[in-house]
Amino acid sequence: MIKAYAVDENNRIQQVENRKEDHVKWIHITQSNEKELKMIADEYHFPIDYLSSAFDSDEVARYENVENLDESAWRLLILLFPIKVIGKSGLVEYVTRPLSIITSKGILITASLSTPHYIQDIIDNFLDHPVDIQDHVQFTLHVAMNIADRYIYCLKEINHATELLEINISRSSDSNQLLKMMELQKSLVYFDTAINTNHPVISKLQETEYFISNEKSKELLRDVRVQNMQAENMIRQTLKLLGQISDTFSSVISNNLNNTMKFLTSVTIVMTIPSLVGALWGMNVPVPWQKNGAGFLITMTIIILLSILTTYWLKKKDYF
């Protein structure tokens, strides 16, 4: 899907039906096939991988030609942003997707498999402080800042889910809790990889004259880097916490299994007493009370007393 946008006199984004019109300033591409991507790449004369990379879920953050100060040059910046999805297990998990930002004189092109929330807010004019899509440096840095903020927002949700998991494990150790923990750990691995690849790209921008031409851009880049560092620390902290919860979960399962085995062993011991006494009194040899009319009642009383005493002793030893 290829959509074109222009800016009206009030600096609001408006969709344009014909993307070849002169006043088009922004083209946003989602869920497009290779033929459409090649058409755009050929039309604007830049490599097709600038676009196709945005639809590769295994793509890493990278940049190309950002040092070029020529206004007509094509610059590429790919950043990984977080999204929430439903995993194969039916539980919520967080993954990352690449976003391509391609800029040249007078035109901005973005591409992603799914539109990030911030980009959608810009398109829908929902922002309190609208971003000027004609200022490509500010647009790029604001998107990078929002991506960093989005990581922190998602990490806070993961931290909250981790706290709930910690509470639930103390009550139940069923497989559903284990699946939730696995999804959280997998999400953190995705985030850790994405932020570690985003970080060098942001560092590169701080060294590029094109992106630090004024104090506002420098300050925004510093804020982006700080947010990335905060996200990195949150990931490390949450991974350690999940590791401890995983150890606790294993201990709880092991303890529950031990308790179950103790209980079953105790029941087996108590149930063995009637069988043992019955076997002894069932032998074809003289036994006590065999000629006594109350012999059966006496034997049953002995069995009951032995069972009660054994149960009491096992209970005292915490086997029940």
Give me the pLDDT at residue 302, please: 86
**pLDDT level of residue 79 (50, 70, 90 thresholds):** very high
For residue 5, how many C-alpha atoms fall within 13 Å in the half-sphere facing its CB?
A: 21
Give me the pLDDT at residue 209, please: 83
Residue 102 confidence (pLDDT) above 90: yes
| pLDDT (average), residues 106-128 | 87
Residue 280 confidence (pLDDT) above 90: no
Residue 110 confidence (pLDDT) above 90: yes
Quote the percentage of the chain above a pLDDT of 70: 97
Quote the percentage of the chain above a pLDDT of 90: 15
Give me the pLDDT at residue 172, please: 63
Residue 122 confidence (pLDDT) above 80: yes
Alpha helix locations (H) across 88-214?
117-123, 136-171, 175-206
**pLDDT level of residue 170 (50, 70, 90 thresholds):** low
| pLDDT (average), residues 91-100 | 90
Sign of CA dihedral 86, 160, 199, 107: positive
Give me the pLDDT at residue 48, please: 92
- Count of positions (residues) in the chain: 320
Give me the pLDDT at residue 282, please: 75
Q: 82: which 2 tokens?
A: 């977080």
| pLDDT (average), residues 32-61 | 90
**Pairwise CA distance, residues 136 & 116, whole Å:** 17
Residue 101 confidence (pLDDT) above 90: yes
Q: 182: which 2 tokens?
A: 């696995």
Sign of CA dihedral 287, 288, 289, 295: negative
pTM: 0.77
| pLDDT (average), residues 232-258 | 80
Give me the pLDDT at residue 289, please: 75
Residue 16 near residue 4 (C-beta atoms within 8 A): yes
* Mean confidence (pLDDT) of the chain: 85
| pLDDT (average), residues 222-242 | 86
Question: Which of 95-104, 114-123, 131-140, 158-167 shows the highest mean pLDDT?
Answer: 95-104
Report which DSSP code applies to 53: G
Give me the pLDDT at residue 51, please: 92
End-to-end CA distance of the chain: 66
**Pairwise CA distance, residues 237 & 247, whole Å:** 16
